[in-house]
A and B are shown apart, each in its own frame.
Chain A
Amino acid sequence: MNGPERFEAHDGDEEDNGPEGNGPEGKGDTPAHGSPPRIPLPRASVEDSGLPLPAPADLGVTAPPPAPPVLEHPVLKALLGAWALAACSPEEATAVEEHLGDCGSCADEARRLREAVGLLQRPESLDLDPGLRTRVLDTCLERRPPRIPVPDWAAAYDAETARLDALLQDFGDAEWHAPVRLRWFRSDAATSRRTTVAGVIAHLLGVDGLVAVALGLDDPLGDVPARQPTPAARTEALWRASHFPPTRFVRAPWREQSHSLVRTVSFTGGGAEKVPVSYGDFELPLHDAMLDRAFECWVHAEDIADAVDYPYDPPSPRHLHRMIDLAARMLPTALAHRRRAGLASPAHHRHLVAAGEPGRSLRLEIEGSGGGEWLIPLDSPAAKGSAEHEVAHVALDGVEFCRLAAGHVPPQEAAAGQVGDREAIRDVLFAAASLSRM
């Protein structure tokens, strides 16, 4: 990222091949006069635009300027870079070229600088294939197995944060400030909040911070007080804390934190996977919290990609599968919440069973990459999903299911194949949407 224009220390590359220095105040000893250049002048390459170069080599021949300024050697020498780039006035160019006929050291430098211009190339803005990271790292880890591996359950977070960071790589100010609408479901109604691309990254920074806090790392909120320790309150607090809207400078702390989370969970390893991560009004064990953060990272990366009109692929099948699995495992609790809130279907169908016993179930069939089948117990989170007690079957595409769980697709509109108990199906689809939050 480019900082403000500042001249950084630069060691010793400034060449001065003459004793006179290149400052304009140096003493010139080779006055320019009107003899023609002795060396042929290479042309600068024009590869990038239709604009013609003000061919300096021709100017002196075809249109002798009215009165070329009389410039001295140090001045002309200092002009060589601008001249080689055809970035000085025609009069100056003529003066330089006449000088080159008389001054061997300037002529040598002029030739070198002209050749250097030919090496300037537009940076190829290559989008690295996001799948390459996984392929390269996997090959490396096969060749030399790591002594400290990244836990399985953190791999999706590692991959998704890397993908999002790659998307942000070439963003300019316009992209960073592009408007984004965060969307989720609250009380069965679609809700949204307007922010910018940078605001989304601040959001991810703040909510990933819940995991950081659980691991004993620094809270990215620092001294900023949040009304509640929830994702939404923390995000609003971060947004409010600054007098200005978030800028591209939020990228580095977000990325640093995400790297540091992956590093830390690698060291705490298997023993830590059950460490509770508090989201304010609920908790997830660390391994699920990391999956949840991976899921959010992908969902918001898609929001960002949509906002700036970039393509963005779903996660790899193996990561997508884990994310779907997390949502499927959270559904029974979400159903229970909704029932308590009077949102899910009344109890007359319910068939309460002892904890761990098979209960009335819905078969959730997820198609496509990362898919699979899950039996969702309908009446109690403590019951076991059971094929014997299957009352309904819903089939939908993996990415569609994730969009539903992210609150990006209303449950009424989710493209789902449905067989069986309509109420159960409705409850499960609404429960899936209720998993979404800011």
Chain B
Amino acid sequence: MAKKDVPPRWDRKMQQRLARGEAAALGELYDRFASLVHGLAHRVLGDERAADGITREVFIHVWEHPDSYDPKQEPLRTWVATLTHRLAVQRLRATETAALAREGSGTTEELEHRVRRASVAARADYIVQSMPVPLRSALERAYFQRRDYRQTAADLGITEDEARRRLRLGLQLLSTAHDTEAPGAPPGYGGAV
């Protein structure tokens, strides 16, 4: 997403329509972001019902507090992803903590490790989904289809130089999923998690 002074029109309009209490806007918001929200929540929590619950919480939050989103700060998509991530990680930590207290097996350290791993995995998903299509297609070919960079270049109709560049850049972006665990660090969603 471009860092521009003028927030994208759709985001701004959507925020105004939600603030105005327009039910049709809520439906459009759901249609645009539900699969992103549900997918991220599912990656963190690994459970369909729990992901449904987070999806519900996220849309309730946006609908009840449309003013907590500032279109000048970041794209709506980023804001929604960040909110989802925060709620899902909270939920995971709460359920894991409850399980730890109940069963008494495992340590807090292991728990934090699991939470961190789930959190990074979800952020990585988001980065892959949000990266420019040319980078994503190159990574998909090289990783999932096992094409080497020369074949990738041929598949995509680009030079071998460009294929190498896209693979490296794509992985560099992806590696930022790890960078955000320290509090206050600039996270992968482009906003505070």
Q: How far is the CA of A423 from the CA of B121 in the complex (A)?
A: 66
Is A88 close to B, CB under 8 A?
yes
Set A13, A126, A144: member contacting B172, Cβ < 8 A? A13
Interface positions, chain A 283-332, Cβ under 8 Å from B, are none
The answer on a CB contact under 8 Å between B134 and A6 is: yes
Q: How far is the CA of A144 from the CA of B23 in the complex (A)?
A: 10
* Contact status of A115 and B175, CB under 8 A, knowing A22-B165, A85-B143, A143-B63: yes
CB distance from B117 to the nearest CB of A (A): 10
Q: How far is the CA of A263 from the CA of B121 in the complex (A)?
A: 37
The answer on a CB contact under 8 Å between B27 and A150 is: yes
Is A104 close to B, CB under 8 A?
no
Q: How far is the CA of A259 from the CA of B26 in the complex (A)?
A: 11
CB distance from A10 to the nearest CB of B (A): 5
User: Which residues from B are CB-within-8-Å of A150?
Assistant: 23-24, 27
The answer on a CB contact under 8 Å between A136 and B30 is: yes
Size of the B side of the interface (Cβ < 8 Å), in residues, is 67
Interface positions, chain B 159-175, Cβ under 8 Å from A, are 161, 163-175
CB distance from A128 to the nearest CB of B (A): 6
Closest B residue to A77 using CB positions: B168
The answer on a CB contact under 8 Å between B175 and A81 is: no
* Contact status of A78 and B21, CB under 8 A, knowing A5-B157, A121-B125, A140-B26: no
Is B137 close to A, CB under 8 A?
yes
Set A14, A80, A126: member contacting B38, Cβ < 8 A? A126
CB distance from A81 to the nearest CB of B (A): 3
The answer on a CB contact under 8 Å between B27 and A162 is: yes
The answer on a CB contact under 8 Å between A82 and B27 is: no
Interface positions, chain A 125-174, Cβ under 8 Å from B, are 126, 128-129, 132-133, 135-137, 139-141, 143-150, 158, 162, 165, 169
User: Which residues from B are CB-within-8-Å of A119?
Assistant: 120-121, 124, 174-175, 177-178
User: Which residues from A are CB-within-8-Å of B72?
Assistant: none
User: Which residues from A are CB-within-8-Å of B137?
Assistant: 2, 5
The answer on a CB contact under 8 Å between B144 and A122 is: yes
User: Which residues from B are CB-within-8-Å of A140?
Assistant: 26, 59-60, 63-64
The answer on a CB contact under 8 Å between B39 and A124 is: yes
CB distance from A371 to the nearest CB of B (A): 27
The answer on a CB contact under 8 Å between A146 and B26 is: yes
Stretch at the interface among B73-81, B86-94, B146-154: B146-154
User: Which residues from B are CB-within-8-Å of A113?
Assistant: 168, 171-172, 175
Q: How far is the CA of A120 from the CA of B146 in the complex (A)?
A: 13
User: Which residues from B are CB-within-8-Å of A128?
Assistant: 34-35, 38
The answer on a CB contact under 8 Å between B34 and A132 is: yes
Interface string of A186-207 (1 = CB under 8 A from B): 0000000000000000000000
Is A345 close to B, CB under 8 A?
no
CB distance from B29 to the nearest CB of A (A): 10
User: Which residues from A are CB-within-8-Å of B22?
Assistant: 146-148, 263, 266
User: Which residues from B are CB-within-8-Å of A84?
Assistant: 167, 171
User: Which residues from B are CB-within-8-Å of A121?
Assistant: 43, 121, 124-125
User: Which residues from B are CB-within-8-Å of A136?
Assistant: 30, 34, 55-56, 59-60
The answer on a CB contact under 8 Å between A82 and B163 is: yes
* Contact status of A144 and B157, CB under 8 A, knowing A115-B175, A119-B174, A266-B22: no
User: Which residues from A are CB-within-8-Å of B177?
Assistant: 116, 119
CB distance from A21 to the nearest CB of B (A): 11
Interface positions, chain A 1-51, Cβ under 8 Å from B, are 2-3, 5-11, 13-15, 22-24, 48-49, 51
Q: How far is the CA of A208 from the CA of B24 in the complex (A)?
A: 18
CB distance from B88 to the nearest CB of A (A): 14
Is A89 close to B, CB under 8 A?
yes
The answer on a CB contact under 8 Å between A120 and B143 is: yes
Set B25, B142, B161: member contacting A85, Cβ < 8 A? B142
Is B28 close to A, CB under 8 A?
yes
Is A337 close to B, CB under 8 A?
no
The answer on a CB contact under 8 Å between A143 and B21 is: no
User: Which residues from A are CB-within-8-Å of B157?
Assistant: 5
* Contact status of A51 and B146, CB under 8 A, knowing A7-B134, A144-B64: yes
Q: How far is the CA of A136 from the CA of B58 in the complex (A)?
A: 10
User: Which residues from B are CB-within-8-Å of A147?
Assistant: 20-22
Is A117 close to B, CB under 8 A?
yes
The answer on a CB contact under 8 Å between B148 and A89 is: yes
The answer on a CB contact under 8 Å between B169 and A13 is: yes
The answer on a CB contact under 8 Å between B165 and A137 is: no
18 A–B pairs (Cβ distance < 8 Å), ordered by A: A2-B133, A5-B158, A7-B132, A7-B134, A10-B135, A113-B172, A120-B144, A123-B125, A126-B39, A139-B56, A144-B21, A144-B63, A146-B23, A150-B23, A162-B27, A255-B31, A259-B28, A262-B24
Q: When A and B form their complex, which 10 residue pairs have the shortest distance between CB atoms, in order from nearest? A: A81-B168, A147-B21, A81-B167, A119-B124, A146-B23, A116-B175, A82-B149, A116-B174, A87-B142, A140-B63
Residues of B within 8 A of A (CB): 2-3, 20-28, 30-31, 34-35, 38-39, 42-43, 48, 52, 55-56, 59-60, 63-64, 120-121, 124-125, 128-129, 132-135, 137, 139, 142-144, 146-149, 152, 156-158, 161, 163-178
**Given A128-B38, A141-B26; 16 other pairs, CB 8 A cutoff:** A5-B158, A6-B133, A24-B161, A88-B149, A116-B171, A119-B178, A122-B144, A126-B35, A126-B42, A132-B34, A144-B21, A145-B21, A162-B27, A255-B31, A259-B27, A266-B24
